[in-house]
Structure 1
Amino acid sequence: MQNKDDINQQLAAMVATMAQQEGFTASALDYVHFMRSEQAYSRTPVMYEPCICIIVQGRKRAYLGEAIYTYDARQYLVVSAPMPFEADTEASPEQPMLGIHLGIQQTLAAELALAVQEAQQLQADVPANATITPTFMYATQVDDTLAAAVLRLLQALASPLEARILAPAIVREIYFRILMGEQGAAMRAALSQGSHFQKITRALRKIHDGFSDKLDVDSLARESGMSLPAFHLHFKQVTSTTPIQYIKAMRLHKARLLMIRSGMNAYTASNTVGYESSSQFSREFKRLFGRSPLEEVRQMRSVLRMHEVAGLS
């Protein structure tokens, strides 16, 4: 097997070729994107959907509550539930930040987590009653086996036939490597059915899918099978924020993407994400992002823009 430095250099070269413009570039798989940033960005609010973020050059940091997660060419970030947090980026035109954003397909990830858990219990590697604290966000080291699988994924995505036939199987392998990695047990626990964390995850998905609907915290708690105090407690354990704050952040982040990627104006975007008052939307948008909607779109257009599919030849 190649050593990690050789693999990192190949990964960086391939991503640099596939992502030649600032922002995100789509791949042949709709849940895999390439990232490129040629300028540093200070700590700013972001919203990640469930994903594995693998940096091959440069560095990013994520801030969630009091925790700080650093991910660079030696580390990757896992976010297993839709999560608002803050992030910064270290990059320059000479040394751009390059990375791969791999969306987590929840059903597949949960099936793999269950299969791993059952196999380990059969082998007596993990007691059936073992207690592991679930983790919805963490950064950990990229080992040689995972790096080699990511390299094979990029090579497959460069060919139309391999992208269609081989790439999904390699994605499955990457999920498996991460579930078996240094902090994989915590992610498997987060994906397990029946836990408070899984119930909160379902609530987060409901908010994520129905962000434009009238969302009632009491109803979310009832649907999660929790009392309102328990729902608030476990919700904050997972997201480091309250349900109301989370719903607001989700809508504002969705509106920002609609304005940047779909060209909507602030009024249309605010209505689309469920705001009845455009003035309230503007106030809350500026409170979160520090700029008016127009200023934020102008500033972040290159960072968050999604470019056409790359890598196929």
Structure 2
Amino acid sequence: MVALTKQLAPAEGYTETLLNGVTIMRSNRPLTHTQALYEPSIVIVLQGRKQGMHGGKLYVYDAQHYLVLSVPLPFTTETQASEAEPMLGIALRIDPSITAELSVAIEAEESPHSVPATLYATRLDDKLQDATLRLLEALTSPLEAKLIGPSIYREITYRVLIGEQGGSLRAAYQQGTNFGRIAKVLRRIHTQYDLDLDVATLAGEAHLSVPAFHAHFKAVTATSPIQYIKAIRLHQARMMMIRNGISAGSAAEQVGYESPSQFSREFKRQFGRSPTDEVRHLKEVMALTPATHRRENSRRTQHRYPHLRETARTLPKLAG
């Protein structure tokens, strides 16, 4: 798995794969106290070690343990890695519809119910490890990534849902619970952070009173709605500056800030550095590399089979 991961991600940072929602992570150096923003994800580390701190709790994910996040969440991470032994991992974005569908089917067969969890780290068992290996193998081939990659991705989701702490993830996708209502609001904030988001409106969308919304929101995220919205905007602005090369002023405007000076103050308070210094510090570590196999194999295929060029235009893209 380490050899396949190195092949799929020759560069440091994040590398897209041929399957939408699946990204390879690589770090050739140790990183301390890094502010991170994870989507709802399954994160499997194959070499090295990462640990995250959230709500006063420490979560370790390494070659024996994987991390699961049921909601979009900013938290602090540390990475143990070196040039000789880089940290290598694979992150699978959780698909809400697939996860909810599988959760309902599993709950129909299993009666015990668990308490929803925002995130957890748990042991990587043999069957999940085997499915991860098969996914990595499939991602080295455009045809296999397209034809069998989605089924392996679905199997990995299933393995996580029936895993040692899978009940916590299944519970997070139950309809009508307070956790589910907050999770829905978090997904909205995560995608519409540039809009005017006021707490009263968000509470109404969750069908909760404002005091109850505050209480349940903090229980899920360990912070207040206002602080969470601010953190999401700052994380998104940082990512725009790192990956799109835009200025701090432009990033501030795109995430909903009206005052560039306020943005700079809050950015430094969040990350401990000015926007310019933070971008310089993390540009390599958080760089996003497109899936190289797709481009190389596509050129090779079109050279050998020119009649496929038009057909290829009608096929859906598997990666962004």
Give the TM-score range, shorter chain.
Answer: over 0.9
State the alpha-carbon separation in 1 of the partners of residues 179 and 151 from structure 2: 28
Of 1, 13, 34 in structure 1, the residue corresponding to residue 24 of structure 2 is 34
State the alpha-carbon separation in 2 of the partners of residues 85 and 308 from structure 1: 25
State the alpha-carbon separation in 1 of the partners of residues 8 and 188 from structure 2: 34
The answer to whether residue 131 in structure 2 is matched with residue 149 in structure 1 is yes
Residues 104/255 of structure 1: CA separation in 2 closer, same or farther (3 Å cut): same
Tell me what 2:303 maps to.
none
1:66-77, aligned counterparts within 5 Å? 66-77=56-67
Contact kept in structure 1, 2:51 and 2:79, CA below 8 Å: yes
* Residue type of the alignment partner of 1:191: Y
Between the two proteins, what is the percent identity of the paired residues?
Answer: 49
State the alpha-carbon separation in 2 of the partners of residues 311 and 115 from structure 1: 36
Tell me what 1:221 maps to.
203
**TM-score scaled to structure 2, two decimals?**
0.91
Residue 60 (structure 1) shift? 0.3
The answer to whether residue 195 in structure 2 is matched with residue 205 in structure 1 is no
The answer to whether residue 286 in structure 2 is matched with residue 304 in structure 1 is yes
Contact kept in structure 1, 2:113 and 2:167, CA below 8 Å: no
Residue 30 (structure 1) shift? 2.2
State the alpha-carbon separation in 2 of the partners of residues 111 and 233 from structure 1: 29
Deviations 1:155-213 (A, max 9, x none): 11111111101000000000000000000011101111111000000110111111000
State the alpha-carbon separation in 1 of the partners of residues 45 and 33 from structure 2: 17
The answer to whether residue 34 in structure 2 is matched with residue 44 in structure 1 is yes
Q: For residue 219 of structure 2, give the secondary structure of its aligned residue in structure 1.
A: helix
State the alpha-carbon separation in 2 of the partners of residues 281 and 300 from structure 1: 19
* Residue type of the alignment partner of 1:187: L
Tell me what 1:184 maps to.
166
Residues 131/181 of structure 1: CA separation in 2 closer, same or farther (3 Å cut): closer
Tell me what 1:114 maps to.
104
Deviations 1:122-170 (A, max 9, x none): xxxx2xxx55211120000110000000000011111111110100000
The answer to whether residue 234 in structure 2 is matched with residue 277 in structure 1 is no
The answer to whether residue 53 in structure 2 is matched with residue 63 in structure 1 is yes
Tell me what 1:87 maps to.
77
Tell me what 2:241 maps to.
259
Name structure 2 gaps, 5 residues minimum: 298-320
Q: CA RMSD of the aligned region, Å?
A: 1.0
State the alpha-carbon separation in 2 of the partners of residues 216 and 135 from structure 1: 25
**TM-score scaled to structure 1, two decimals?**
0.93
Tell me what 1:103 maps to.
93
Of 13, 16, 37 in structure 1, the residue corresponding to residue 6 of structure 2 is 16
* Residue type of the alignment partner of 1:297: V
The answer to whether residue 196 in structure 2 is matched with residue 196 in structure 1 is no
* Residue type of the alignment partner of 1:111: E
Name structure 1 gaps, 5 residues minimum: 1-10, 121-125
Deviations 1:233-281 (A, max 9, x none): 1111111111000000000000011111111110000000000000000
Residue 311 (structure 1) shift? 4.5
* Residue type of the alignment partner of 2:237: A
Residue 288 (structure 1) shift? 0.5
Between the two proteins, the alignment pairs up a number of residues equal to 295
State the alpha-carbon separation in 1 of the partners of residues 35 and 140 from structure 2: 33
Q: For residue 121 of structure 2, give the secondary structure of its aligned residue in structure 1.
A: strand
Q: Which moved more, 1:137-146 or 1:42-51?
A: 42-51
Q: For residue 116 of structure 2, give the secondary structure of its aligned residue in structure 1.
A: coil
Q: For residue 95 of structure 1, give the secondary structure of its aligned residue in structure 2.
A: coil
Q: For residue 182 of structure 2, give the secondary structure of its aligned residue in structure 1.
A: helix
Q: For residue 144 of structure 2, give the secondary structure of its aligned residue in structure 1.
A: helix
